[in-house]
Chains A and B, each alone.
Chain A
Amino acid sequence: MRPTAFALVACCLLTACVTPPIPYNWTGYSSSLYALKKNPTDETLAAHKQVLIQIIQDSDGKSMKVPPGIYAEYGYILVKEGKAEEGMKYLDLESQKFPEATVFVQRIKTQLSQSASDAAKPSDNSGSTPEPGSAEKEKTP
């Protein structure tokens, strides 16, 4: 992580914005996510989850802040693992800490509950919510 920090600082100097950075706690995030993407197994997923919860637990909100998206990502994984109640808590935390995430969190919840009910009834996942690309047709006058 230190080279990244250095790079950021150096680039900030380059553009003359010498201000203390926002103390987001990204400890371990990009490496564990990278490992997960490179080799998606139960172990790499568990390791990435561990990084997420560690970020949440270690951040006191002052000297270390939970970065945008971490609560949502953790909650999303939990719900997908079937821990719906606990996952929803983290999803709600995301929109509490970052009100601009409200629509997004609502969308996640809708999608997750949809896939839950899709899983309950066997195979019918056609024509539910339109994807952003195709939905244009409805709206374009």
Chain B
Amino acid sequence: MNRCWVLLVLLLLAGTGCVTKVTKQEAFPEMYQQAPLSILVLPPINETTAADAKEYYSTTLAQPLTAMGYYVFPIEVVTEMMKHEGAYDTETLVNAPPEKFKQYFGADAVLFVKITKWDTAYYVIGGHVTVGVDFLLKSTTTGAELWKYNGVLTVSTSPSTAGGGLIGLAIHVVATAINTAVADYMPVARQANAMVISTIPCGKYHPLYGQDQATPVVLQKPAQQ
């Protein structure tokens, strides 16, 4: 139940924040043109100081992506195969020609995931857990950027009631959910994923495939580079 509150807060923020709304078609036209089916998720690039972040985070990606109608290559197997071939770091693959992934794995698109934040802060009156992610999906046929999105999710653990109202209550409820350091990240990471991945146009296995062009998406940065 606690997490439901977190999500509610999120929804409220998403609804009231300074954001731009466009349709999926407007935001990601290439995605509809190329209609990739299979997505190769590379091991995440870890830009944080948390050494474990990448290993843990990679376990949360397959489920939301397949739920959006895509074939997702099993991330564990892909990671091991790449290690076997001497490719340990996704960093070195960012500039590799995307066609290689088509040739080698038969993937229609390749997904680069960057973990930008993975922090816990505890202070006297509370604290928070923050997970930030950047997603970039590239076509393995043309190399074009098909979809990109980023999200930062902070779950406050401050038991403050200063804000009052719904948010004050939510924060209070969440505070009781957060006890240990490492395990906190996973639910937050899953929520960040769900938030970000819901913006991808539906894939071929999804009932709404080819019908969700008009679905609105929220672009957090009006001018996405």
A binding-site residues for B, Cβ under 8 Å: 3-4, 6-8, 10-12, 14-17, 19-22, 24, 26, 29-30, 33-34, 37-38, 67-70, 72-73, 76, 98, 100-104, 107-108, 111, 115, 129-136, 139-140
Contact = CB atoms under 8 A, between A and B. Distances in A.
B96 A34 contact: no
B167 interface: no
Given A29-B63, A30-B59, A30-B63, A22 B205 contact: yes
Given A3-B187, A69-B72, A133-B100, 12 more contacts: A4-B194, A6-B4, A8-B64, A15-B198, A15-B216, A24-B63, A30-B186, A68-B66, A100-B106, A101-B106, A103-B105, A131-B82
A4 B63 CA distance: 10
Interface in B61-88: 62-64, 66-67, 69-77, 80-82, 84-87
Nearest to A70: B74
A99 B49 CA distance: 40
Contact of A3 (B14, B58, B73, B190): B190
A101 B194 contact: no
- Interface size on B, as a range, is 35 or more
A133 B215 CA distance: 37
Contacts of B63: 4, 24, 26, 29-30, 67
